[in-house]
């Protein structure tokens, strides 16, 4: 016949497991606390040609708290300055009025555009909207394995 375990025995077993797991976690944290520098990157695993880096923070809690407070003050000051700058820029835009190439046309005695001016504006808008052609000397390595072909024209 099987013996029944008491509540005290169960609690003692759970405590023993908890203490063992905490001790194991603490021991493993000490072993994995090394940081390795591998070229330009940092890792928690060793690499070929890598070296260990000391990453302990020697500051006291008071120093750390003072640094965090200073960071918060700087962030709030920066956001306050950004809001101030944005409001000044909005006000300047309101006072400046229309900002287009033909701002003079908005005056009260402005004349309508002539057909030639309308055509010139349409050409400018079309040129601004179209993507610019790529250079004839450029060839993407992924699409063309040949060297770029030289044209007879030379730039001055």
Q: Does the residue 50 lie in any domain? A: yes
**Residues 48, 80 within the same domain:** no
Query: Does pLDDT of 84 surpass 90?
Result: yes
Show Cβ contacts of residue 36 under 8 Å, excluding neighbours closer than 6 positions: 42, 43, 44, 45, 46, 47, 50, 51, 52, 53
**Residues 32, 52 within the same domain:** yes
Tokens 């021991």 — which residue? 27
Give the domain extent around 64: 58-97
**Residues 19, 51 within the same domain:** yes
Q: Structural domain tally of the chain?
A: 2
Q: Does the residue 71 lie in any domain? A: yes
Query: Phi/psi at 32 (nearest 5 deg)?
Result: -95, 10
Return the percentage of the chain with pLDDT > 90, whole number.
24
Q: Does the residue 75 lie in any domain? A: yes
pLDDT digits (tens, 9 = 90+) for 2-53: 677 677 777 777 787 888 778 777 666 555 578 999 988 988 888 888 899 9
Q: Does the residue 65 lie in any domain? A: yes
Query: Does pLDDT of 120 surpass 60?
Result: yes
**Residues 45, 23 within the same domain:** yes
Q: Which residue has the higher pLDDT, 14 or 138?
A: 14
Tokens 């203490």 — which residue? 19
Q: Does the residue 48 lie in any domain? A: yes
* CA atoms of 23 and 17, how far apart (whole Å): 10
Query: Does pLDDT of 153 surpass 70?
Result: no
Query: Phi/psi at 51 (nearest 5 deg)?
Result: -135, 155
Query: In 4-139, at which residue ranges do the beta strands (DSSP E only) sit?
Result: 35-38, 41-43, 51-53
Q: Are 137 and 155 in contact (CB under 8 A)?
A: no
Query: Does pLDDT of 114 surpass 70?
Result: yes
Mean pLDDT of 114-124: 91
pLDDT-derived band at 127, boundaries 50, 70, 90: confident
* CA atoms of 52 and 33, how far apart (whole Å): 10
pTM greater than the 0.85 cutoff: no
**Residues 51, 63 within the same domain:** no
**Residues 16, 44 within the same domain:** yes
């Amino acid at each position: 016949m099987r013996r029944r375990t008491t509540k005290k025995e169960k609690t003692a077993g759970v405590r023993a497991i908890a203490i063992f797991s905490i001790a194991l976690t603490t021991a493993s944290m000490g072993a994995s606390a090394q940081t390795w520098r591998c070229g330009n990157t940092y890792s928690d695993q060793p690499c070929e040609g890598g070296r260990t880096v000391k990453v302990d923070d020697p500051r006291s809690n008071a120093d750390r708290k003072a640094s965090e407070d200073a960071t918060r003050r700087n962030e709030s000051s920066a956001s306050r300055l950004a809001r101030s700058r944005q409001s000044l820029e909005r006000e300047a835009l309101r006072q400046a009025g229309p900002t287009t190439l033909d701002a003079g046309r908005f005056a009260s005695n402005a004349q309508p555009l002539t057909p030639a001016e309308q055509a010139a504006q349409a050409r400018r808008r079309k040129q601004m909207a179209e993507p610019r052609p790529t250079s004839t000397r450029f060839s993407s390595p992924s699409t063309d394995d040949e060297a770029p072909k030289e044209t007879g024209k030379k730039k001055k």
